Amino acid sequence: MTLLAFARGPALQAALLIMIAGIFWRLAGIFLLPPRAQHAAPRHSLAGRIGGGALMIVSRFIPHHTFWPRVAMSVVLSTTFHLGLAIILLGGAPHILLIHQVTGLTWPGLPKGLIVISSGLTLASMIVLLIRRITHPVLRMLSTVDDYLSWLLVFLPVLTGILLAGETIGGYGTLLALHILSVELMMVWLPFGKLMHGALVFAGRWGMGMNFARKGAAT
């Protein structure tokens, strides 16, 4: 079996199944713990609390004034990275094609040049983020193997992707195989490390938003 056939076939199946099983395992392990009943009289109605939950998912992207400029660097880098990645994933024609194959949904893609620029910005922000993680005393203290591994497992797909889109370095078939395999590696690790924040962030912000709306606390 060629490497590409392996990547598009058995490896894709194994990686997706492991990722799906892992995600559900982790979520079930968290959310099937005994919940704590809240009996205190809420300040807002259920509708208001649901609204609070939804609002916090969005509002947490921009920190409050009191935290600037100390978090400016972190926010700019992180936003650039995530937005860049979103543009690549949701705007890149091959990715839309893959989503279409799996879900039937489709939408117009962005011009390839934009995707390449976005990829460049994403890679650049990732490199700066890594340097920051290694040099900033707080980040260096907090960081574990998971942080660096997760970085690598996201960096490789973006890197192989931009090389593939550029079509100047390496054979298309080999690069495509490496690109797909690198994504599969990321998928396999995802449920078990910090990459899971892709799912947890919504639950966390939602929960805090609802809870804080209940109390009228600052959000």
Partner 1 sequence: MSSDAKAAAPPAEVPNAGQVAAAVRGFIADIGPTVALALSSCVHCGRCAEACQFYVQTGDPRYTPIHKVEPFRRAYEREVGPFAFAYRLLGLAPKITPDELARWQELIYDSCNMCGRCSLICPMGIDIAELVERARHGMFAAGLAAADFLGVLAEKEHATGSPFGLVRSQFEDMLHAIGRDHGVVMNVDKGTADIVPTVSSIDVKMYPASMAAIAKVLNHMGASWTFRTDGFDADNVSLTAGDRAGQRKITLGIVKAALACDANTVVMPECGHSFTEMRWEAANAFGEALPFRVLQITELIAEGLSVGRIRVNKVPHSATYHDACQLSRRGGATAAPRVILEALGVELHEMEDAGATNWCCGGGGGVALIKRAQPLMDKAFEIKQRQIEVTGVATIYTSCSGCRQTLEHGGKARNWNKTVASLLELVADNLKD
Partner 2 sequence: MDDRETMTETLCAMLARRGFGRRSLLQFAIAMTSSLALPPSVAPVMAANLAKAKRRSVIWLSFQECTGCLETLLRSSSPTIDSLIFDFISLDYQEALMAAAGDAAERTLREAVAANKGQYLLAIDGSIPIKDGGVYSLTGGRSNVEMLAEIATNARAVLAIGTCAAYGGIPKAYPNPTGAVGVDDLVSGKPIVNIPGCPPVPEVLSGVLVHFISFGRLPDLDDRKRPLAYFGTTIHDQCYRRPFYDQGKFAKSFDDAGARQGWCLFELGCKGPTTHNACASLKWNGGASFPIESGHGCLGCSEPDFWDAGGFYTPLAGGSPPGWRNAGIAAAVGVAAGAAAALAARGRAASARHKAGPSPEETP
Query: Of 63, 94, 193, 204, which lies in the binding site for partner 2, with binding defined by CB under 8 A?
Result: 94
- The entry of partner 2, partner 1, none near residue 217 (CB within 5 to 8 angstroms by kind) is partner 1
b (16+ CB within 10 A) / e for 171-202 = eeeebbbbbbbbbbbbbbbbbeeebbeeeeee
Which partner in partner 2, partner 1, none is near 203 (CB below 5 to 8 A by kind)?
A: partner 1
CB of 15 to partner 2, least distance (A): 10
Residue 203 binds partner 2 (CB under 8 A): no
**Residue 56 binds what, of partner 1, partner 2, none (CB under 5 to 8 Å, by partner type)?**
partner 1
Q: Give the one entry of partner 2, partner 1, none that residue 65 binds, where binding means its C-beta sits below a cut-off of 5 to 8 angstroms depending on kind.
A: partner 1
Alpha helices (H) in 9-107, listed in sequence order: 10-31, 46-59, 72-91, 93-103
Report yes or no: 22 and 178 within 8 Å, Cβ to Cβ: no
Q: Name the residue nearer to partner 2 (CB basis): 16 or 152.
A: 16
Residue (of 203, 216, 197) closest to 52 by Cα position: 216
The count of C-alpha atoms lying within 13 angstroms of the C-alpha of 126, restricted to the half-sphere facing its C-beta, is: 23
Please state the φ and ψ torsions of residue 167, each to the nearest 5 degrees: 50, 40
Burial 9-19 (b: 16+ CB within 10 A, else e): eebbeebeebb
Return the one option of partner 2, partner 1, none that residue 104 interacts with (CB less than 5 to 8 A, by type). none
Residue 9 found at the interface with partner 1 (CB under 8 A): no
Partner from partner 1, partner 2, none contacting 116, C-beta within 5 to 8 A by type: none
* Rounded-to-integer distance, Cα 180 and Cα 201, Å: 26
Answer whether 189's CB lies under 8 Å from 150's CB.
yes
68 binding partner 2? (CB under 8 A): no
| Sites for partner 2 among residues 167-186 (CB under 8 A) | 172-173, 176, 180
Give the whole-angstrom CA distance, residue 149 versus residue 157: 13
Does 200 contact partner 2 by CB under 8 A? no
What residue type is 48 in one-letter code? Answer: G
**Which residues lie near partner 1 (CB under 8 A)?**
25-26, 28-41, 43, 56, 60-61, 63-67, 70-71, 74, 78, 133, 136-144, 147, 192, 194, 196-197, 200-201, 203-209, 211, 215-219
**Which residues lie near partner 2 (CB under 8 A)?**
1-2, 4-5, 7-9, 12-13, 16-18, 20-30, 32-34, 36-37, 93-95, 97-98, 101-102, 109, 111-112, 172-173, 176, 180
